[in-house]
Structures are given as C-alpha cells and as structure tokens.
Structure 1
Amino acid sequence: MAASMIGRLSKHLTKIEGCCLKTQVRTSFLTNDVFRSNEPSYDTQKSWKQRKEEIEKAGQNQDMVVNIGLVSNVKTNRVSRKFMRQLKTERNLEELERKSRLNQLEVPIKKVTEEDFEGQGQQRIHTLTAHYGIFKDLFGNAYFYPSLDLHVGYPIDGEESMVNPVFYGNKFPPEEVSQQPHFEFKAEPGKFYTLCMTAPDSHLTNNHQEYLHWMVCNIPGESVDKGETICNYLPIFPVHGTGHHRYVFILYQHDKPVDFSSQVQISDSTSLEERTFKTLKFYRNNQEHITPVGICFFQAEWDESVRNVFHNVLDMNEPRFEFLPPAEVVPKQELWPIREPFNV
C-alpha cells in the first residue's frame, strides 16, 4: 500500500525550486482527515534565506548584555580533582582524626571563606545581585562578577570590636545604619579603589535617579583610611509607606588616581538636589579608567529614626505615603428579587 502511494505521488511531482518542493496531487485519497495537517503547505513555507533575515532582524532589536567586570568565567559547582586528592590525603591523617575526635580541630574560617569566594561565591553573589534587580537598575544592560570580596559592616553601640555585616539583601532598621560603616577588602598590589554607596529606590522626585550617600575615592590598596572622602556619609531615609529600599555598595578598581571632583562636588552637603546621582552615567564617564570589582547591599524600611533625619539632617518636612484601599462596592439590594441569580 505504501509503495503504491509513493509511486502515485512521484508521478505528479512537477518542479523543484531551491529547497521548496511544489506538488500537484490529483489523487483523492489524500483528502482523508488522516492525512490532513495544520502545517503550511510547501508553497507558503519560508526559505532559509528568509528565516535567516528574520533571525538577524530580531537579534538587532534585542539589547546586548555586556560583562563590564574583570572576571569572565567563574568556576562551576564541580569539585576539582586537586581538592578530592587533598581530601583523601587528609582523611588518612591520624593527627587530624584524633583532634577531630577530641574536639580540638581548629578550622581556619578566613581561609575557608576565601576559598569559597573563588568560583561558587562569585557566582552566588552575581545571582543574588541580578535577582534583586541591581544590575538592571544601576548599569542597564551590563553586569559583572565580583573579583574582590567586599566586606562592609556598621558599628554597634557599646561594642567596639563588633559590627553588623552587610551581605546581599539582608535587612536593617535605619536606626542601626545611621553611622558611617567600616569596610575592608583584599586588594591587588599597586591598584587604587573607589567605594560608592547609592540608593536606587529613595529618590523623591525621579524614579530613574539615585541618591549618593557616601563616596571614598583613590584608596591606595587596602589602606582604606588614606582614601579621599569627597562625599560624607548621609544616613538613609526610606520614606514611610514605600516599602523596602535597596542600598548598594560598589567598589571600583583603577590603575592610578582619578580626579572625580568635576563630576561629584558634594563634600558634606545634605542637599538632596546635589546628592542626586546616576551610577550608569558615572560609569560611562569613567569607564576607560574604572572597573567594578566588588558589591554588597542591604534593605531597609521606615522607622522612627527617619523622621529625625528629615527634620534635623535634611531640614525638610517628612513625606509620608499611605495606602488607601478602594471603597467597597455594594450592589443595590432588593427586598423580593424575582427570577434573578443569587450570586450576582
């Protein structure tokens, strides 16, 4: 049966043009519903050239995502062979086994943290930063993988040696982050660094602008105390009724000192107009000199201390937003409804 069908079809093949096969089938058995298909006929299908032009046109309309960091590829979650050999060797050491059994084994936390940052930590930080929309809101269609592990912590009242660490999205009440934070990182020799703290959600008049809360420039290596503070720390002020706000610390690396005085002239000003900032514009103006290498951020929402910031620091009235639910719509009631549904 199949052979006879193929034979009958081959008699009516008339012409081949490129990759499109035109047919003239006069037989009646192909009109059966079994052989019908929703796909277009050979005459209406697009050629490879047409499909290629559509794909190229669609690709031009899409925005290109660019990696602006120093790290292009990060390690996967696979365990390396070197680590497995080391693990197997240490497993057979009697001294380590004895210390572990007697609860005398000391684990170097700092070393473990540094090893975790390389690869898996970089990927985890990148994923969290993208999840919170920070790359999109600060750098547009650009992103980066952190090459340095940035540590930021806020001082705790009464505890000189303790800080509240900033991770990647943890929450703080504004009262606990009212003082200038401490920060540290493991720098590369001969490099300079600049730290910026911005608030992408706090601008009062323009949702596409930010406020610059803190900026320390031209830090030589790890000597954070020798950096030039061109923008003093401004306490955060998430407005009442606007939910959680993000506050982002970005560390830039450059080969030599860069003069930012023409772009940021704030010093100790508390004027919100002068504090208006745009990370994307700042990076575009200095992209030939600076590269983002570290990031961390936290979230905060309104508390009573924000009122003090508006009144005593910013010297302005505190704006407040309240959610007003729409009024409940109650249909007109009838005493004796006749022939009407009960649930309308």
Structure 2
Amino acid sequence: MSFSNLLMKSTANPGVFLTVTRQGHVLRGKPPGVARTLEQRLREETVTDVEVAARVNIGFPQLKESRSAQLKTRLEHLKAQRASKQLEQLARNNKLLIDLDKVQQIYVKTTGQHDLRLLADHYGVFEHLYGSAYFVPRVPLTINYQLGEGLLSPVHNGNVIKPAEALKAPEISFDGKIDPITGKTATGDTYWTLVATNPDAHYSQQATECLHWFIANIPNGQVKEGQVLAEYLPPFPPRGVGYQRMVFVLYKQDSRLDLSSYQLAEQDYANLEKRNFSTLDFYRQNQEQLTPAGLAFFQTNWDESLTQFYHNVLKLKEPVYEYDFPKAYLSDQKFFPLKQPFNLYMDKHRDQKVLNKEYLERKLAQTHPFEGPEQPLRYPNAHAIRDVPSWLRTEIRKRRLGQGRVQDY
C-alpha cells in the first residue's frame, strides 16, 4: 500500500490506528494532529545514511581463542583451585592474601582496555581527535609524573592532575615487543610514535589542538631512545575555563618514518602558534604507516603555579576568564505580593551592594573581636519564636540553623 493510500485510509476511518516507523522507533496509535501534519512530518524526517554515520574502527583487531578453548582454560583453573588443600586451609583461617598487582595485570589484559575505550568515548576524546573514528587500545600505557622521592602521580583513565604536578615530563613505559594483534612477543625490531595533545587549548585556531609532546621512532618501547620532535610542554589551562584534557596516543609503526616536517625548533619551544596540531590531519597523512595502539589521558585545571609559568616561560599575560551572567528578570513591583516571603521579595528590588553590606554588618555585630562569634544554640528548634510575623519567624529559624543566604557572607 502506498503512502497516500495509507494516509487516506487512516483519515477516512478515525478509529484505525496507524503504525509508523520513525528513526527506528515504532509509533503506535492515532497520528498526532491532522493528516497534513502527519504527511509533512514523515517527509521532513532527516534520513541518516547508516554507512556514512557509522563509526570506523582504526585500531588493531584482536585475535582471541575460541569460546570452547577459553571455557576449557577457565574450568582447568577452577579445578586446580578447588583441589588445593593449602588454599582451602588459608581461606578457612582468614589468612588468604590476594595479589592485587596480579589482579590488575589480569584486568588490563582482559577488559581494562575496553573500559578505557568507553571512558574515552564518555569524555569525547575520540570525537575531538578523530571525528567519527575510534580504536580499542591494545598496548597498555603506564605514565607516571614524578612528585618527589618515591612519590608518583599516575595517569589513570581521566583522573585529575594539577599543573604543578605535571611540570616535568612524565615517565612512560609500555611493552614495545608485543604484537598488538596476537598479544605475543613480536619478532624483530618494533617502532612507535607517541603524541601528547590538548584538544581543549584552542588559542588561535578553533579546529586545532595544542601539541605538548612528540616522540617518533621509539625503538622497542625505549622512550628515551626515540626521536624528540617537540619537547614536553606542561599543561597550562587558563584561570576560569574549568578542566582541560591531556591525551597521550601511542602509534605502532611498520618501520622507521621520516617525520622531520613536525620538528619544532628549540627557539620555538614556547611559541603556541607553532604548536598548533591536528591529530586527524596527522593520522590521515600517515595512516598507511601508523596505527593507534595505546591511549592514556587525564584532566587538569588552573592552579597558582601557572601565574609564573605564563610570565616566565610563555612570556604572556596570564588570561583570566569570568562568566558573564545576564541579570535576572524582575517583574514590576506589586503593592501586595501575595504568597511570597515579604523580606525576600523586597530584597529582590534592592541594590545588591547595599544588601551585601547589611548581611556583613549583621554577621560582624554577632562576632566578638577576640572571642569570636557567638556560640550557636544547642537545640535551635526547641526555642519558641512568638509574637513575630511569619516571614520573620522563618528568617530567625534559618539564622539559628545556619541556613540561607547569610552563610554566603
């Protein structure tokens, strides 16, 4: 049946329920509105090409054992655990210790990297770096910032690291001899590229990132032996912009590559214009030789150490951003504001500076210069409040309980 016949049938008999599919959702029941509205809505639906909108996996595939082989290995492990008398005795005596490092290794090897991919999607890492592409990290990255003697600040799935903690280049380690597809030791030499960017540091061009670190041709996972194309630049989120993301992406190379076009001169270390970078363009130009294999990222926001960093390193005035909130709408003042607290209604139409001064004076009047503020009542609600209007009774009760606007001053 054609659309026009279906439409005529549904309008001719109002009792007929029409079933329509819109963007994969089935609408059952009477069509909303008149027939003309239904026809227009069905024709105006934006049809998305599934092949165009589908996300592309640009990472390595993973070869797994068959389900039967995995089940066999698991059953053998359970059988060995249950047959161990020593293990049972330790468990009964509450002396069984679990090696958490081994648990972490198993987690990273099994589902840890898939969880990292979901977290990166949640934080918009793939969307802002690769557009509609993504990848599952196959090579675990271990990144630690040195804080002091024996103190480390690890990069762990989007945790918060302050700029003062990330002033120096972190220690990076990964298994450079592993085959990302099979998970076994690779034969021959392997080469890698590590790129650290900030997709939120848009200073001159909105579509680019800030390049913080670029190390190419890392042999067999030895990061210190790689070719440093851009020295490490600490994160510097401006004051007032909130959190920014620092993303480390590890690429697997087929062989040594000539990436000298990305070389940053020593005198351009603090030149932010020269540090504009596009991960998507970089990958498109080198996707035949590079494949993303590892991922790590953290969040950072402003702290006091950045003031000197802007002045001494970047040679810039420190930017400070503030939110510009529009003024609240106030209707015309009424002679009798019914069902509204009298004092709060009047405060809306008073000068905010005068109001702040009044609250501050009230707070200082109850504070002794040497003994401090008055001691609060032990049981505030047990003291009756009589012979005062209802709005004042509510105000006194809030003051006793430490609630309301008075706590802002």
Which bracket does the TM-score occupy, shorter chain normalised? 0.7 to 0.9
2:340 corresponds to:
none
2:287 corresponds to:
287
Q: How far is the alpha carbon of 1:241 from its aligned partner?
A: 1.0
Q: Relative contact order (C-alpha < 8 Å, sep 6+): which is higher?
A: 1
Deviates more, 1:109-118 or 1:121-130: 109-118
Per-residue displacement from partner, 1:177-235 (whole Å, max 9, x unpaired)?
11110011112242111111100001223332100111111111122221111111111
Gaps of 5+ in 2: 6-11, 21-34, 36-44, 179-185, 338-344, 346-409
The partner residue of 1:146 within 137, 149, 159 is 137
Number of matched pairs: 299
Letter in 1 for 2:74: F
2:201 corresponds to:
202
2:227 corresponds to:
228
Is 2:158 aligned against 1:169?
Answer: yes
Conserved in 2, the CA contact under 8 Å of 1:75 and 1:120? no
Conserved in 2, the CA contact under 8 Å of 1:74 and 1:119? no
Is 2:58 aligned against 1:68?
Answer: yes
2:326 corresponds to:
326
Gaps of 5+ in 1: 1-18, 24-30, 45-54, 338-342
Alignment partners' CA distance in 2, 1:219 and 1:292: 14
Alignment partners' CA distance in 1, 2:63 and 2:117: 12
Conserved in 2, the CA contact under 8 Å of 1:252 and 1:293? yes
2:173 corresponds to:
184
Point out the structure with the larger strand share.
1
Is 2:113 aligned against 1:122?
Answer: yes
Structure 1 residues 320 and 298: CA distance shift in structure 2, 3 A: same
Structure 1 residues 166 and 33: CA distance shift in structure 2, 3 A: closer
Letter in 2 for 1:119: T
Alignment partners' CA distance in 1, 2:64 and 2:53: 23
Per-residue displacement from partner, 1:286-336 (whole Å, max 9, x unpaired)?
111111100010001111111122111101111111012212332222447
Q: Percent identity?
A: 35
Per-residue displacement from partner, 1:238-267 (whole Å, max 9, x unpaired)?
011111101001111112111111134345
The partner residue of 2:104 within 110, 113, 117 is 113
Conserved in 1, the CA contact under 8 Å of 2:204 and 2:273? no
Per-residue displacement from partner, 1:76-130 (whole Å, max 9, x unpaired)?
9998442233023212202233455667756554443332223311210111111
- RMSD of aligned Cα (Å): 3.5
- SS of structure 1 residue aligned to 2:260: coil
Alignment partners' CA distance in 2, 1:200 and 1:74: 34
- SS of structure 1 residue aligned to 2:317: coil
Alignment partners' CA distance in 2, 1:39 and 1:225: 64
2:314 corresponds to:
314
Under a length normalisation based on structure 1, what TM-score does the superposition of the two structures give? Answer: 0.76
Alignment partners' CA distance in 2, 1:258 and 1:32: 71
Under a length normalisation based on structure 2, what TM-score does the superposition of the two structures give? Answer: 0.65
Conserved in 1, the CA contact under 8 Å of 2:191 and 2:220? yes
Q: How far is the alpha carbon of 1:138 from its aligned partner?
A: 0.2
